Structure 1
């Protein structure tokens, strides 16, 4: 394994046997080394495969002004996230998280702690990501002695959520969260109820809404054939839920200029029926 780029004395870029770019870390790994030199296997402590083109250059640029401690912290947090979250994390998260940690800790040391306006929503709608982010704060404190606020955990969790968007910017993750929150609010106001967040039906609806919002961000269109018979059946059988789904469609059209399909209205209706049916049963008994 040979060095293709030296980032600092302890971090280099190289190529794997399958010709993928990798980050190789180890104390003194690149001391007095140059491009083309062979890496001493005994000094390798960590490797990180980069599957996305262009990430290596961004990482190299970041390393010019970022202490190495944050690179190592990001690596450990990502390893934790990979073991806890069910989806693949985008390579760029390594760069984004390193940059975020460096900036957040520097701000904190200067007495500047920013509030995350989406803290409540992120804690509520992205529970797994938020729990991993809270553990990340413990790791940051253990290494740096700095205890960051829960607002930073929300920001880290949002980076995980954003990773599902495969390279989209952070604004996309914020937009997904806001859209999901507003749709849930429409359902609660329409039925004048509080939704039970501990039910499997709620989790299913939440997952559906997340991917619904991601499809909007990516401008993806449904390829499924429209079933007019099913549409009419759902409309007649689940009248209240159908009207709520139509109200959601009107909100999406007005605020996002996106006309959702009849198929999507069917799915929304069925999900809404499930999450509101339990409430109706509880209050009828």
Structure 2
């Protein structure tokens, strides 16, 4: 393995057998090295081979600017997230999360912690990802000696969800906002409190997550047979009236009228919640 580029004493770029760039990190791995020199394998702590070669230059730049301890800590958190969720995360997580952790630490040192206004919703809507956020705070405290506020677990959660959905961070925040608004419409329409441990509630939240994502990404739902929609509308009349309130809200706030398909599935989920809470 030979040096292709030197970013700093601890970060170098090499090439794999196919000519793709690999980033190699380790204390002193680039010290007094020149292009073409052999890399000492004993100094290698981590290799990054990103599937998306387009983001590699930006990641390399980040590695050269941020302390290696922060990168190593971020990598531990990302590997844990992948194992815990069993999902593939977009390569962009290596940039977004590492960058966020570094600046969160810097802000904290300056006494400038940012409150997270969505912390309640984050805990409810993304419980698994939030658990990773709490794990991240523990790792940061143990490895970097910085105790960040719990609100930062929520911000880290957004980055994890972002990497799962491959969406932009503002969209993830707005997605959470839409979910909260719809849950409140249903709650106040029927004047009930949610049983957040119920299967119906969890199914509804999961449906809302992808529904809100589709709205913000301007995706179009596949239209179903309108006959089924008519049957559901008549059978679950109370739930359908609630769905119409959601429809009016989405038109006013997001210029997104519900399609028959979207109304169908929202009505079914709302009816499940309503029926369960009547028992």
Question: TM-score band, normalised by the shorter chain?
Answer: over 0.9
1:197 aligned counterpart, secondary structure: coil
Distance 1:68 1:247 in 2: 51
Deviation at 1:30, TM superposition (A): 2.0
Q: Is residue 6–residue 35 contact of structure 1 (8 Å, CA) maintained in 2?
A: yes
Partners of 1:24 and 1:220 in 2: CA distance: 39
Which string of whole-angstrom CA distances, capped at 9 and with x for unpartnered residues, describes residues 68-93 of structure 1?
22111111110111111133211111
Could you list the per-position Cα deviations for residues 212-266 of structure 1 after superposition, in whole angstroms to 9, with x for gaps in the alignment?
11112221112x3431210110001111111111211221111111122101111
Q: State the shift of 1:192 in Å.
A: 0.6
Instruction: Out of 85-94 and 39-48, give the one that drifted further.
Output: 39-48
In structure 1, the partner of 2:75 is 75
Q: What's the counterpart of residue 195 of structure 1?
A: 194
Residue in 2 aligned with 1:93? 93
- State the partner residue of 2:62: 62
Moved more, 75-84 or 26-35: 26-35
May I ask how many residue pairs the two structures share in their alignment?
A: 279
1:134 shift after superposition: 0.5
The equivalent position to 1:242 in structure 2, one of 240, 243, 250, is 240
CA distance in 1, matches of 2:270, 2:3: 55
Q: Is 1:229–2:227 an aligned residue pair?
A: yes
What is the DSSP-based 3-state SS (H/G/I as helix, E as strand, rest coil) of the residue aligned with 1:50? Answer: coil
Name the CA distance, whole Å, in 2 between partners of 1:71 and 1:264.
42
**Unmatched tracts of structure 1, length 5 or more:** none
Q: What SS does structure 2 have at the residue aligned with 1:57?
A: helix
Task: Assess, with a 3 A threshold, how the Cα gap between structure 1 residues 15 and 187 changes in structure 2: closer, same or farther.
Answer: farther
Q: Which moved more, 1:10-19 or 1:255-264?
A: 10-19
Matches within 5 A, 1:1-285: 1-17=1-17, 20-166=20-166, 168-222=167-221, 224-281=222-279
TM-score if structure 2 supplies the norm length?
A: 0.93
Which consecutive unaligned segments of at least 5 residues does structure 2 have?
Answer: none
- The separation in 2 between residues aligned to 1:263 and 1:58, in whole angstroms, is 41
Once superposed, what is the RMSD of the aligned Cα atoms? 1.8
Sort the Cα spacing of 1:71 and 1:253 in 2 relative to 1 into closer, same or farther, 3 A: same
Q: Deviations over 1:19-72 (max 9, x none)?
A: 554332223222222344443334332223212243222123323432222111
Residue pair 1:21, 1:51 contacting (<8 A) in 2 also: no
Q: C-alpha offsets along residues 78-114 of structure 1, whole Å, 9 cap, x if unaligned? A: 0111111133211111111111111111111111111
